[in-house]
Structure 1
Amino acid sequence: MINIGDLFERNTVLEVVDLSHNGFQFIPFSLFMHAPKLRTLRLQGNVLSVFHLSVKKLLSLKLLDLRDNAIKYISRDTINGLSSIADQQGQLMTDTVETNRPAGSGADIPSQMNTTIVLGNSVTDPLVIDLTGNIMECSCDRIWFNEFLLNTHISLFGKELYTCTFDSNSRYMTSELLNDMKNYCKLNELLGVIITIPTLILLTLICVYVIVRRRRIIKRKALCADTLMERYNMNHPDEQERYVIFLSFAGLDDDLVNTYIIPELEKFVKEKFGNYDNLICTGDSHFTPGRWITKEIDRCLTRCDVFVMVVTKHFIKSEWCKYEVMLAEQKNKFKILLVNEEVYQQKSPSALTAILKVCTRATWRLHNNTLVIKPEWRKIFEGILEASLKTLEEMKEGI
């Protein structure tokens, strides 16, 4: 297959080129950069949609035939090149006329001079472009092209017949159409501004709201945390003793809980609420001797924020654990379940099953004397802290 560029790009003596009716969709930009003698270029009857060609060196060009293509517009680079050619040819025409004017004559150029011009045969011929048979583009993006067609000093053959598509209608290229386009484009720009500004304002307000709300939440949590620390400060003997956590577990799991669970909970409590002891109610060690056990369980549960259950096979069988679960349900306490993996896989008693259906839980197992828990303790502590803050807010609302 012949490359069109190989035929023309290095040919410096071309004067007339006719590439009409070849089905070209585009012409290489640099195709005629080395053809300064080119006078006539015919590209009629192709399917060019955009005419983009380097013409700045085609100073001898007299006829550019672009009829019956599908050209929507001519590129800015090509327009600038064509305008430059026309300017230089116009200057050459002026110089030639001045040279041939009879000495001492003040007369104008004879009118018959323009009637004897044969395209391509005289240096005084103007550049002519033929765009008839193309439905060009009239849009806000190409308004510069429409202004060129109406205002250029280049000779456009059949200019009065040029049409373009505007607002879904085919219209002749006139000054009236250009004014309509400018008004239409200004209206579109105005509508764009009208739509854009409220959108930007809305987005700005949303961003400000999110930032302010986030700062308020952080500030509120910080204030609540400070208030929690004050509330749990044991240096105020007049206040009722309160607990962050009521830890429910079976007596047979005492060693496991004291070895693996309580140290982690104490570490969290001390980090969040200061170095205060006795913020975790663990049963007998926090019950007052001589009182009913049920009364003490009720007292501790009432004064705690979070009910944490260490669920094992012993927990399920313990009547006291069942009682504590029932009481926590009645008091609507926030519950966190630390469930042994083996128990979790087995069928649980109905009382515990109801809780498992509505409460999220963490699962754990012992592996090489290490407690492996999922999710990690940090997530569990976040839940405990959120519950404490929620309890504090509810207490404030109730005051």
Structure 2
Amino acid sequence: MNIRLTWRRAALALGGVLAAGFLFAWSGLFHVGATGGHWAVTNWFLHWVMRNSVRTAALTVEAPPDLDDRALVARAAGHYATGCAPCHGAPGEKQNPVIAQSLPAPPDFSHALDPWSPQELFVIVQQGVRYSGMPAWIEPMRRDEIWSVVAFLQRMPAMSSQDYQALSVGDGRPPGAGLHALSAPAPEAVADCARCHGRDGVGRDGDAFPIIAGQSEAYLLETLRAFAGGTRRSGMMQPAAARATDEDLQGLAAHYAAQPRVAAPAPSVQDAVLEEGGLIAREGIPLAQVPACLSCHGAAALARNPAWPRLDGQHADYLEGQLAAWRDGARGGGTQREVMATVAERLTPGQARAVAAWFASQPVR
């Protein structure tokens, strides 16, 4: 007997399959616990789909910066130690055995790192991996931070445990009991910041981190609160600021404001570049409606409003990078964020580089 296939019978068959599947799901007989693991074919299929997805998404990612730059590597080390190592392990630090029971279990980087290309690693860090517990980057527009993580991941397999500790902990070891005043922030909060900025606020690894020593307490507190609240966007600073109490943030601002101001090494640029930057800082660019930078960041302006940052003696690359982040809409900040975004949009990359170099060359006040 021949059974004639019609659209109606096909629809009924498909409806029956769907109804049976729904009934099976409703019955609770499907085991969702992580104790049993996946079938081998399921595990292969899921990884195959994930790799194909990452490979395709990576086709649109730009060429990476210099991933061998130690400053770029150092920027991600402290974040990796607090935000990534508990799941993925690290040189000299085994993966947490509780995390290892996840389904799927995150890869253990204390042993090896799968051979992903830089662009593929960028996609994984930026977008996360669905159904795996791997989160997306908090601020996906901060491509500079994501490339920093990629640089660190690529360097990590060759690191010794001592190298990893030096990069990830830095000066972040908690001080001994009795070494902090009752009004100071908790030792853990200081240690969290000191991983990257040092206890003196000068930073480390060249220009990897901005100099925050000697900034005004009002500016530092506003900045920390902006990071904690997410109005100043950073996948590295937001978690660190958000896990501190407001009392700790006040103590941290007071601590770093009290540190002696230190100037970064003067940038090596042509005199013409410094002259252009000085002209923009003093007079602005009237035709582009760019105000003079010193109208907000000069000594007289800072005396009127200490919540504005000091730029003299800051790292040139940091200042230039912040202007780029303003221009790209990736930064955010405190109460003046809209003003700075407008100014940065009106500066060409060359003008931003010039004014950053000029401020970096100025002696600290």
- State the TM-score, normalizing by the size of structure 1: 0.21
Richer in strand (by share)? 1
- State the TM-score, normalizing by the size of structure 2: 0.23
**Bigger CA radius of gyration:** 1
Richer in helix (by share)? 2
